[in-house]
C-alpha cells in the first residue's frame, strides 16, 4: 500500500508561511496499491489537491468519511471527479439514527452554506456505514464507532499482510483513568498491532485540560494509546490550527525524546508512505 | 477479551463518575460493570464480584418478590430490558452479601445502538425508604 497525505490539519484550515511544512489543508489521505483501486480517507480541503494528481481519474473512487464535521467535508464540493458522470465516487460515512448520509450531507452541500447542491454532483453514491467489516475495492475495511462527538467511525484498512488504522478525531482518554484495559478503550481493536496508526495529535497536555470532551487527544494520550495497542509506527495527524511548524517540530522532538516503543512520523502534507 | 462497543465504554465511564447506582450488562446479560454507588447497596465490590455470566448472576444475587415468593427470571427488570427491549421497573427484595435482606426499587433500560444493535442493558436501583 502507498499512502499520501494531502491534508493533516485539524478543525479548520490554516494556510500561511508559518504552516508551510506541515500544511494548512484539512484531513485527506489517499491509499493506492498499484491496482485499479483508489481509496480516499476523508474529504477535507486536502481533497482538492487530488484534482491535479488524478488526471485522468479512475472510473471508481471510494471515499471513507470518518464523520461529517466540516473539516472532513470541505473538499467534497471542489472535487472535480464528483462533477463528472463518468466517475463513480462512492461515499462511505457513518449511519445515523435519524437521517441518511445523503440527507445529512445535503445540509452542507446546499444553499445558503454552499452554492452547489448535492444533486449537482452526479458521480456521488452513498453508503450508510455501520460498524462491521466491508470489502471496498481490494481493501478489507473494518469500521467501528470511536469516541468523538456525534457518530464517528475509525477505520482499519488491510491489503495483503499490511494494516493501517485511521483515527483522525479520537479522544480515548475521555472519562479519565487512561490508559485503561484494552476492552474498555475506544479504538483498541481497530488499532491492535497495526503496521501504521494515523492518530489525532491535536493538543498539548495543558491545552487538553481546557478541552476535555471536545473529541481530541492530547499528545501524551496519543502516544500512550499507540504504545498500548502495539502500533509499529504512528503518523501524527489533525494538528491544531494554532500549532505552527516551529511548535509542531518542538512537540514531535519532545515526544521522540521521551522514548517511544514505535516510530513516530510527523504528519506533513505531501508525505508518502509505502507499506 | 474483545473491546466493548463505544456506547458501552462511554456508559461505563459515565457510571464510574456519578453517585447514582448503575449496573451494566452486555447483550448476553453478562455483568460487565457496576459502580461504587451500587457497591454500597449490594454490599459487594465489583473488583471482588468480577464479570459474571447471566447464569452466575442468578447464583450470586438472590432476588425475590416483596412477599418473599421467588421472582421468575422472566419477570426481572433486567431480563425484560434485554429480551423485550423495553424499560422495566419493579420493587424487589434481595439478599446482600452480608446475608441481610433489603428492599430496593430497580429500573432497567435496554441499550440499543444505531441500526438497532442490541448492546446490553443498564440498571439503576435505590433502597426503598417507604
Q: What is the ipTM of this complex?
A: 0.82
How many domains is chain A partitioned into structurally?
Answer: 1
How many domains is chain B partitioned into structurally?
Answer: 1
pLDDT for the residue numbered B1: 80
**CA A147/CA A213 separation, integer angstroms:** 9
Q: Give the structural domain span for A192.
A: 2-274
A131 min Cα distance to partner chain B (Å): 9
Query: Taking CA atoms, what residue in A is nearest to B14?
Result: A175
Residues forming beta bridges with residue B110, ordered by sequence position: B121
Tell me if B1 and A183 make a contact (CB, 8 A cut-off). yes
Nearest CA-CA partner of B102 in B21, B24, B14, B26: B21
Tell me if A175 and B114 make a contact (CB, 8 A cut-off). no
pLDDT for the residue numbered A35: 78
Q: Give the structural domain span for B119.
A: 6-126
pLDDT for the residue numbered A36: 74
Cis peptide before A56 (omega within 30 of 0): yes
Tell me if B13 and A174 make a contact (CB, 8 A cut-off). yes
Number of A–B residue contacts, CB under 8 Å? 48
CATH of residue B77? 3.30.450.20
Tell me if A95 and B115 make a contact (CB, 8 A cut-off). yes
**Residue A126 backbone zone (phi > 0: left; psi -120 to 50: alpha; other: beta):** beta
The HSE-up count of residue A254 (CA atoms within 13 Å, CB side) is 10
pLDDT for the residue numbered B22: 97
For residue B114, give the nearest of A97, A183, A185 by CB distance: A97
The residue length of chain B stands at: 130
Strand (E) or helix (H) holding A188 = helix A188-191
Chain A residues touching B6 at Cβ < 8 A: 144-147, 186
The answer to whether residue B1 sits within a structural domain is: no
- Strands (E) across chain B are located at 23-26, 31-34, 63-64, 88-95, 101-113, 117-127
**CA A73/CA A66 separation, integer angstroms:** 10
Chain A residues touching B7 at Cβ < 8 A: 145
Tell me if B3 and A189 make a contact (CB, 8 A cut-off). yes
CATH of residue A261? 3.60.15.10
pLDDT for the residue numbered B128: 67
pLDDT digits (tens, 9 = 90+) for A142-169: 999 999 999 999 999 999 999 999 999 9
Output the tens digit of pLDDT for each of chain A's 275 residues.
999 999 999 999 999 999 999 999 999 999 999 877 799 999 999 999 999 999 899 999 999 999 999 999 999 999 999 998 899 999 999 999 889 999 999 999 999 999 999 999 999 999 999 999 999 999 999 999 999 999 999 999 999 999 999 999 999 999 888 999 999 999 999 999 999 999 999 999 999 999 999 999 999 999 999 999 999 999 999 999 999 999 999 999 999 999 999 999 999 999 999 99
Chain B residues touching A175 at Cβ < 8 A: 10, 13-14, 16-17
Question: In chain A, which among 83-102 make CB contacts under 8 A with chain B?
Answer: 95-97
pLDDT digits (tens, 9 = 90+) for B57-102: 888 888 999 999 999 999 999 999 999 999 999 999 999 888 899 9
A170 min Cα distance to partner chain B (Å): 12
**CA B73/CA B64 separation, integer angstroms:** 10
Amino acid at each position: 500500500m502507498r499512502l499520501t497525505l494531502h491534508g493533516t490539519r485539524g478543525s479548520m484550515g490554516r494556510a500561511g508561511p508559518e504552516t508551510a511544512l506541515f500544511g494548512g489543508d484539512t484531513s485527506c489521505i489517499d491509499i493506492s496499491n498499484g491496482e485499479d483501486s483508489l481509496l480516499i480517507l476523508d474529504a477535507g480541503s486536502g481533497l482538492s489537491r487530488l484534482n491535479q494528481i488524478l488526471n485522468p481519474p479512475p472510473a471508481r473512487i471510494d471515499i471513507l468519511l470518518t464523520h461529517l464535521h466540516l473539516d472532513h467535508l470541505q473538499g467534497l464540493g471542489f472535487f472535480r471527479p464528483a462533477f463528472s458522470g463518468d466517475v463513480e465516487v462512492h461515499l462511505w460515512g457513518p449511519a445515523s439514527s435519524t437521517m441518511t448520509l445523503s440527507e445529512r450531507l445535503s445540509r452542507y452541500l446546499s444553499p445558503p452554506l454552499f452554492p452547489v447542491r448535492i444533486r449537482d454532483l452526479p458521480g456521488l453514491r452513498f453508503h450508510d456505514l455501520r460498524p462491521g467489516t466491508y470489502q471496498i475495492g481490494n481493501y478489507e475495511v473494518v469500521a467501528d464507532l470511536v469516541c468523538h462527538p456525534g457518530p464517528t467511525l475509525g477505520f482499519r484498512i488491510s491489503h495483503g499482510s499490511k494494516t493501517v488504522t485511521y483515527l483522525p478525531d479520537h479522544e480515548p482518554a475521555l472519562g479519565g483513568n487512561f490508559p485503561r484495559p484494552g476492552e474498555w478503550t475506544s479504538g483498541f481493536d481497530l488499532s491492535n498491532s497495526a503496521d501504521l496508526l494515523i492518530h489525532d495529535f491535536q493538543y498539548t497536555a495543558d491545552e487538553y485540560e481546557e478541552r476535555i470532551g471536545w473529541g481530541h487527544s492530547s499528545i501524551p494520550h496519543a502516544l500512550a494509546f499507540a504504545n498500548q495497542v502495539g502500533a509499529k509506527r504512528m503518523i501524527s495527524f489533525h494538528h491544531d490550527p494554532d500549532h505552527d511548524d516551529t511548535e509542531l517540530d518542538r512537540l514531535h522532538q519532545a515526544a521522540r525524546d521521551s522514548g517511544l516503543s514505535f516510530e513516530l512520523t510527523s504528519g506533513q502534507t505531501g508525505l508518502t508512505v509505502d507499506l | 477479551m474483545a473491546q466493548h462497543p463505544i456506547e458501552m465504554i462511554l456508559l461505563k465511564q459515565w457510571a464510574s463518575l456519578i453517585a447514582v447506582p448503575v449496573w451494566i450488562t452486555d447483550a448476553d446479560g453478562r455483568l460487565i460493570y457496576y459502580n461504587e454507588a451500587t457497591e454500597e447497596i449490594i454490599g459487594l465490590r465489583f473488583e471482588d464480584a468480577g464479570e459474571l455470566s447471566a447464569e452466575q448472576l442468578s447464583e450470586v444475587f438472590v432476588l425475590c418478590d416483596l412477599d418473599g415468593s421467588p421472582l421468575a427470571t422472566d419477570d426481572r427488570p433486567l431480563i425484560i430490558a434485554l429480551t423485550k427491549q423495553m424499560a422495566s421497573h419493579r420493587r424487589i427484595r434481595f439478599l446482600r452479601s452480608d446475608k441481610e435482606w433489603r428492599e430496593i426499587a430497580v429500573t432497567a433500560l435496554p441499550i440499543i445502538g444505531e441500526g438497532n444493535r442490541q448492546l446490553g442493558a443498564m440498571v439503576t436501583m435505590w433502597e426503598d425508604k417507604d
